[in-house]
Amino acid sequence: MNIEEVKETFEFMDDWEDKYRFIIDLGRKLPEFDQNDQTEENRVQGCTSKVWLVYSRDGDNIHFRGDSDAHIVKGLVAIILMIFSGKTPKEIISIDAKKILHELGLSKHLSPMRTNGLFAMVERIKAIGESFL
């Protein structure tokens, strides 16, 4: 699934409870995250829940993997990975994640702490992208 498909799915859902369940389901579909990668070095600071983020390069593209100890946050990680993973550093930096997350309605329906954590993930990914320029 990609971010456009998530947007389309959200358009068909009227109830935010259904959207939350969908987000949780996205988190369940993330690939297994190696527990050896659940280190403080890989932890995203600024998130209330524990969130880990690792990356690898494949040519010009950067691929991200992530995990969280909270179900809804793990789903948010999945959404962030859909937005950024597999892109070049220049593409990563140019993506307006705030706009995408606003289009999904997440900025209105998440607690301020979750929203801050979400943008902490975005900042971390953009910093990784910038480190390769």
User: Catalytic annotation on 47?
Assistant: yes
For the domain covering 3-131, report its CATH number.
3.90.1010.10
Residues 68-127 pLDDT 10s:
999 999 999 999 999 999 999 999 999 999 999 999 998 789 888 898 999 999 999 999
For the chain, give the secondary structure using H, E and C: CCHHHHHHHHHHCCCHHHHHHHHHHHHHCCCCCCHHHCCCCCECCCCCCCEEEEEEEECCEEEEEEEECCHHHHHHHHHHHHHHCCECHHHHHHCCHHHHHHHHCHHHHCCHHHHHHHHHHHHHHHHHHHHCC
* Predicted TM-score (pTM) above 0.85: yes
- Separation CA 22–CA 32 (nearest Å): 19
Domain ranges for the chain: 3-131
Instruction: Give me 129's structure tokens.
Output: 């992208």
Q: Which of 47, 82, 83, 122 is catalytic?
A: 47
- Average pLDDT, integer, range 55-69: 97
pLDDT digits (tens, 9 = 90+) for 11-29: 999 899 999 999 999 999 9
72 class by beta-carbon count within 10 Å (0-12 exposed, 13-18 middle, 19+ buried): middle
- pLDDT, residue 108, reads 85
> In 38-51, which positions are buried (b, 16+ CB within 10 angstroms) versus exposed (e)?
eeeebebeebebeb
